[in-house]
Structure 1
């Protein structure tokens, strides 16, 4: 029996766990990752990396291979509804509706202005190998696949876990100060007595992962294609490209059969069903994998128990609509990594880790609820326009025929449908939900301001420097180099202080505060006469401070604190702010606050 002692043990080597490993390595935190499977995912799973997630990966130098291997917005920025992909009948291969989605088409300009990087489509079957290779390179010998944690106990000041190598049965004892449970909810949370609250069994879904040449019929630039069969509701479903080539020559695909139909046919019937849904009875295909899975809407009642912290699917599980599941898990890891680094280095009190739940749980609650609402709303649209699964079989063909009819009533049906489909923007154009979320309570210093205006559909994003929000992106220039405001925080445990051109007093105060807390604080005076040029004037438009004001940004690029203008005692004010963030209330009570 061997023994290992590490500051952090990560249990689970999926998208969340591998991301956590990469982030911790960048923060200089030694750790061990164990994953019971011998390799990364064999099935595509989640496939949309939203703009906030890609910004996080960019911060850690991981975005390059993802952008290179993934589909760009031009290749996936639309959602479509068809009767089938092909066929010779009057109702075959008809377009019910199509709309721009997730930053594509007319949405692109807005997305491009909001961040230094755009969303990418990359399924987990291709994402996880990138993350694994990087994690192994950054933390050699400590990313162990084929290793399963069989037991653990919290001893108060550390956790003792037993890890078994699945191939040999050899047991290793691991002593860690903290454990990140990124095990997908496979047992750690339950062992701690953490209840998953919500709806555990919304729908049963059968998913087919297959390879085929669909190039003669495929419409390029589509993230997801929904099929609404005019004759049989059980032949509905949705089709998604899975690469590795994107567009007409995509080799691999996923077809989700309509929820509720999963138990209606056996696995040997899957290939014929695929052909029926697509309207391609002679299609040559190779079935790669079939999964039956349950759609859930669950949120952990607690994210931390002692020295064990839940992340990813261990903390929240939701329908795939809106694409927030994997993205939420990656953002969990990002929020947690810098805080663990601060605590383990002695720069912050252990209570900083309590802010992880205070910040992430409300965000994930909304994400879960939003995904459920979007799923139900999508089905409600189909039923309302007369093309949903609940349309009686004897009326189904009649309803579809009327919808496509070249007549005043057909035009009326399509016009009504278009107006209803517009409301689906809450499911596929919810830009503000992806990047506009804020931490209202936690490692932030509220300044008394109210939240920005938020469109009910979350399809309009209003950037703000209000504490708790993601720092607005703006392009800066210095010495001929172009960079984003998001590039000012390093991958290590460093903060950034952004001021106007007249913010020298804040910058001098930052140097003293950085020395006091042994925390790097990069300073940036932006504007005419400052260190950085406001390349296109965007920073001046979104900073919400005067030339003498300042904005303090955390290592995860969330705003920690801001002062709209100059103050008489910048050292004391900034000391209080950093103390409050790093040690929450503990250290904040030990320093003088502004009178």
Structure 2
């Protein structure tokens, strides 16, 4: 048996694992990635990439390649509820309600002010090839598809894995210092006894990927369109554009059928045909309906009985709300669906996984280069597991609330068939009573913004402990529905974005850190002592620290006055920023011993006082 020795083994070549590979390469971390499937995902599952994820892709030079294929935010500015696309009945082809969402429409200016990047939409079957090409370019010969993990043993000072070639059966031994488990929880977690706890089966969904020309009937500009059938409660579903053309002439679509309990097959009756699981946190697949039944159901939902369509694939999956009981087990670190599985509501699944990998990569680099002890990796769980818990809870809550709103206005899938036509007729009644009903419904629909305008969930999260030095300041006020993001330099939070200018070049505060720059120290115009201290500390600790004095007379101009408005420090204060653009430490003013203060802060961030393993 051949043996490969490598600092890091990444198990799983989906969106999270491939992202981890790209980030590790950018940080100079040698690694091997293995993926049991022969290729990237064939299912266009996760497709919304929120603002924080797009910032990360921008930081690692992937934004342009993704944006070239993705739908820009103006193409998915609405969430829409409809009865059908067409039909001959009075309630057919009607818009029930629509609202702005995901940074589009009137929300765009607020989102644009918060970040150098806007959200985008690109299905995972198109995103993963982009990530794979970049991963293979940066780590040639070490991105191995068609390789499954056969065994894994943590020996304390190293991890020994057996990897099997799925085509030939040949087995290779891989010896690594650390393993990143991004395998969806299929192999590594069960092998080590790491359990997923929470809600294992919330709902059964059948996802269908198909092609059809819907241009004569399609209403453009929606991120998703929910269909509430006036005649049949079992036809509750939502549909999404999947490109490659976006808008009226979109060629491919995905439709999710939310099956009532009577239609949901028992777990374990698998209809799998080699494809991967469904969107978000998917559990065991259930038996799939026949193609004729699915085609008939799509036509019924859309109100187009003669629609010509082509099925590309179907998968049934279980909506779950599960969190791993730990994110670190010895030398194994869990990320993505191996650590958390949540409903697709709010679109947090893949986004959270990519952000896991981003948090982990710079820490692995610091430990493997000897700049930090092994204990720094404990901060990965301390920081990311609470975020995983929050995002699961938020998605579960949003999903339940959406259902409750529909039920409260009498249009949900729980309304008996014999009452449905009457309820829908009353909703669209042109009388003053009908207008009053629609006004009440509009106020209730507006509360779903916690799922569709969750800006503060996407970029406002913070690390209360971990690789940060708290300063005792209170967190900013958060709106209950998390629809308003308030930037802050409080340690643990994402560095506020502000446009700067230097030598005629325009750049974001987010551009001051990253894999090449390492840490950054941002100060006011009177922050020269802090900048001088940073040079001393960088040399002493062998850690790159980029400095930036920002403001009047400084080398970086505050292009729009944004930095002064959000910095929360005086002209002689300083903000220390980690490679992942989270604030590590700050001083609101000057200090008597800037070099000693900064060295102590950075040592605490990197856990230099921790005993090594």
Range into which the TM-score falls when normalised by the shorter chain = over 0.9
Query: Cα distance, 1:586 vs. partner?
Result: 2.5
Equivalent position of 1:577 in the other structure:
601
Q: Distance in 1 between matches of 2:344 and 2:77?
A: 17
Q: Does the Cα contact within 8 Å between 1:267 and 1:290 map onto a contact in 2?
A: no
| SS at 2:264 equivalent | helix
**Cα deviations by residue, 1:441-481 (Å, 9 ceiling, x for unpaired):** 10000001010010000001110000000000000000000
Matched, 1:48 2:71: no
What per-residue deviation string (whole Å, max 9, x for no partner) do you get for residues 389-440 of structure 1? 1112111100000100110111011000000011001010010000000000
Kept after mapping to 1: 8 A contact 2:149/2:187: no
CA contact (8 A) 2:232 2:417 kept: yes
2:329 is equivalent to residue 328 of structure 1: no
Matched with 1:591 is none
Per the normalisation by structure 1, the TM-score is 0.98
Aligned residues of 1:475 and 1:535 also touching (Cα < 8 A): yes
Q: Could you say which residue in structure 2 is the equivalent of 1:351?
A: 375
8 Å CA contact 1:553–1:559 kept in 2: the answer is yes
Taking only aligned residues, the RMSD between alpha carbons, in angstroms, comes to 1.2
Please give the alpha-carbon distance, in whole angstroms, between the structure 1 residues aligned to 2:85 and 2:208.
Answer: 17
Q: Which residue of 1 aligns with 2:585?
A: 561
Query: Contact 1:342/1:493 (CA < 8 Å) preserved in 2?
Result: no
Paired with 1:316 and 1:562, the residues of 2 have a C-alpha distance of 31
1:11 has 2:34 as partner: no
**Aligned positions of 1:67-146 closer than 5 A:** 67-146=67-146
Match of 2:420 in 1: 396
What residue number does 1:175 align with? 175
Equivalent runs, 1:175-574 vs 2, <5 Å? 175-260=175-260, 263=264, 266-268=289-291, 269-492=293-516, 494-574=518-598
Question: d(CA) in 1 for partners of 2:190 and 2:260?
Answer: 28
Q: Compute the displacement of 1:587 (Å).
A: 8.4
In 1, the alpha carbon distance for the partners of 2:72 and 2:259 equals 29
Please give the secondary structure, in 2, of the residue aligned with 1:238. Answer: strand
Q: Distance in 2 between matches of 1:326 and 1:318?
A: 10
Distance in 1 separating the partners of 2:232 and 2:254: 20
Native 8 Å contact 1:27 1:493 kept in 2: no
Distance 1:441 1:493 in 2: 24
Other structure's SS at 2:167 match:
coil
What SS class does the counterpart of residue 186 from structure 2 fall into? coil
Instruction: Give the C-alpha shift of residue 309 in structure 1.
Output: 0.5
> How many Å apart are 1:263 and its aligned residue?
3.0
- Equivalents in 2 of 1:357, 1:28: separation in Å? 22
- CA separation in 2, counterparts of 1:184 and 1:258? 23
Q: Which residue of 2 aligns with 1:63?
A: 63
8 Å CA contact 1:338–1:493 kept in 2: the answer is: no
The 1:159/1:408 distance shift into structure 2, 3 A limit, reads: same
Alpha-carbon offset, residue 530 of structure 1? 0.8
In the alignment, structure 1 residue 147 sits paired with structure 2 residue 147: yes
SS of the aligned residue for 1:465 comes to: coil
Contact 1:16–1:329 (Cα < 8 Å) also in 2 = yes
1: distance between equivalents of 2:369 and 2:456? 34
How far apart are the structure 2 equivalents of 1:196 and 1:13?
21
Structure 2 unaligned runs (5+)?
266-287
Counterpart secondary structure, 1:367: helix
Conserved 8 A contact 1:580-1:586: no
Structure 1 residue 88, shift from structure 2 partner: 2.0
Shift of 1:493: 6.5
1:556-593 superposed Cα distances (whole Å, 9 cap, x missing partner): 000000000001000111001100111264289xxxxx
**Shift in CA distance, 377/12, structure 1 to aligned 2, threshold 3 Å:** same
**Runs of at least 5 residues in structure 1 that lack an aligned partner in the other structure:** 589-595
Shift of 1:491: 2.1
Partner Cα distance (1:13, 1:508) in 2: 43
Which deviations, in whole Å up to 9, do the C-alpha atoms of 1:171-197 show, x marking residues without a partner? Answer: 111000000000001021121111211
Q: Which residue of 2 aligns with 1:164?
A: 164
CA deviation string 1:328-368 (max 9, x = no partner): 00000000000000000000000000000000010110100
Deviation per residue, 1:108-145 (Å, 9 max, x gap) = 00000000010000110110000000000010000000
- Is the contact made by 2:514 and 2:580 (CA closer than 8 Å) also made in structure 1? no
CA distance in structure 2 between the partners assigned to 1:399 and 1:354 by the alignment = 55
1:345–1:278 CA distance, 2 compared to 1 (3 A): same
Q: TM-score, normalised by structure 2?
A: 0.95
CA distance in 2, matches of 1:377, 1:263: 22
In structure 2, how many angstroms separate the alpha carbons of the residues matched to 1:366 and 1:582? 25
